[in-house]
Copies of this chain bind each other. A is one copy, B any other.
């Protein structure tokens, strides 16, 4: 996995896990990959993965069973949908509108790009 250098790695890992939950690859009550395992796959320091998991745990997306590992919370999906949606609508969307306004792009122009995007990601 490649990391964007403009955002903290542990946040990118947390986002990656959230994505997998939202897309159903990780279901409630599933066991999340172990810290060491994920650290190897992503080629990062285990401490960094640990920090991601602490971050997710704090938000109630995952929880820990002592000696067993981290598990996806039952209400992870609802939390994610609510939480991310709110943040998106209140913070990111205005910034997004500001940008396309400055660039002189209209929403209509984005439609075909979005269709292309969807086509590309549904049949990889």
A residues bordering B, Cβ < 8 Å?
Answer: 5, 8-9, 19, 22-23, 58, 64, 66, 81, 84-85, 88-89, 92-94, 96-97, 99-105, 107, 110-111, 113-114, 117-118, 121
Contacts and interface: CB of A to CB of B under 8 A. Distances in A.
| SS of A interface (majority) | helix
A66 B45 CA distance: 12
A52 B84 CA distance: 27
B84 A103 contact: yes
27 contacts: A5-B64, A5-B66, A8-B66, A9-B66, A19-B102, A22-B102, A23-B102, A81-B103, A81-B104, A84-B99, A84-B102, A85-B103, A88-B99, A88-B103, A89-B113, A92-B99, A93-B110, A94-B117, A96-B96, A97-B113, A97-B117, A97-B118, A101-B117, A101-B118, A101-B121, A107-B107, A107-B111
